[in-house]
Amino acid sequence: MHLTSAPQAAHLQRRQTFNLRAKKGQRIEVRTGQIWVTQDGDPRDVILGANQCFTLDRSGHALVSALEDASFVVRNAAEVARATAVSKRTLGGTQVPSCAY
């Protein structure tokens, strides 16, 4: 699935996978359940649960696997940057961590 500039929501049942043509800076935000994220060329396995997120640090193929029924949103890098700028203005320059990773 190719993602557009708008955030894309997905729901996976346990053991289903989601192939992502990843771009550096995109963020995966888990709403419910638990997922496993792997990126081509990255030895890490990233496990995320509800209310956690991960910012992709490279472009290429990424695979999202549901360890249990899960829903998540993929946001593009520009949207992540805008949200960060808004939170800085709203919070008087104090940056709140937005991701677990």
Q: Which fold has domain 8-90?
A: Jelly Rolls (2.60.120)
In angstroms, the CA 44 to CA 38 distance is 7
Q: Round to whole Å and give the CA distance between 53 and 28.
A: 5
Name the more confident of 88 and 16.
16
The confidence score (pLDDT) of residue 5 equals 46
Say what the pTM is: 0.77
> Contacts by 51-54 with C-beta closer than 8 Å and gap 24+?
52/99, 52/100, 53/27, 53/28, 53/29, 53/98, 53/99, 53/100, 53/101, 54/27, 54/28, 54/99, 54/100, 54/101
Mean pLDDT of the residues in the chain:
83
pLDDT tens by residue, 30-79: 999 999 999 999 999 999 999 999 999 999 999 999 999 999 999 988 77
For residue 3, is pLDDT > 90?
Answer: no
Domain boundaries, the chain: 8-90
User: Please, where are the H alpha helices in 1-101?
Assistant: 77-90
